[in-house]
Amino acid sequence: MENKLDNCIFCKIAAGQIPSKLIHEDEDLIAFHDINPAAPVHVLIVPREHIATLADCGERHAALLGKMMLLAPKLAQQLGCGYDAEAGAGGFKSLFNTGPDGGQEVYHLHLHVIGGPRPWRGQR
Ligand code: 5GP
Ligand code: ZN
């Protein structure tokens, strides 16, 4: 498994070398609160494997990507911003930023899960 401990902040978080507010940990993924939240709930789902961007993923990453996406609604539920279909209430964004024009700042794959009662920063 490729690991960029020298220069990648999310590899260092995954290795426990930099502290974070962890909310989930398993053999493939970690999730922690974003240091600069854009909304009442803002967490990042991060694979332990160093993959720079979504555009670097291939077929061999399909299960990992599926696992990341399936974790998003579970964490949202756990953090109080799950989607309640019956009430037509709640909900969250799930977002991958890719490359400079995609607004990516950390080049280790991550899925943002952003939610909580509106308004948020810059959102209605
Ligand atoms: P990107 O723009 O790459 O999609 O998002 C990177 C996210 O990582 C940003 O929302 C930023 O606030 C968050 N972030 C950057 N450095 C750290 C850190 O050291 N700890 C935590 N918890 N979040 C970080
Ligand atoms: Zn990394």
Q: Is residue 51 part of a domain?
A: yes
Residues 6 or more apart in contact with residue 22 via CB below 8 angstroms: 30, 31, 32
Asked if the structure places residue 47 within a domain, the reply is yes
The pLDDT assigned to 121 comes to 80
- Residue 124's pLDDT is 67
Look at ligand 1, atom 17, and give the residue with the nearest C-alpha: 35
What is the total count of domains within the chain? 1
Question: Can you give the pLDDT at residue 120?
Answer: 84
Please check whether residue 30 lies inside any domain of the structure.
yes
* Closest residue to atom 24 of ligand 1, CA basis: 35
Complex prediction ipTM: 0.99
The reply to whether 123 falls in a domain is no
Report the separation in Å between the CA atom of 49 and the middle of ligand 2, taken as the mean of its atom positions.
Answer: 7
Give the C-alpha separation, 111 to 24, whole Å.
Answer: 13
Q: What is the mean pLDDT of each run of 10 residues along the chain (124 residues)?
A: 77 96 98 97 98 98 98 98 96 97 98 92 73
Residue 2 lies in a domain: no
In a domain, 121, yes or no: no
Residue 90 lies in a domain: yes
Q: How far is the CA of 119 from the centre of ligand 2 (A)?
A: 32
CATH number of the structural domain spanning residue 44: 3.30.428.10
Can you give the residue range of the structural domain that contains 99?
Answer: 9-115
- pLDDT at position 108: 98
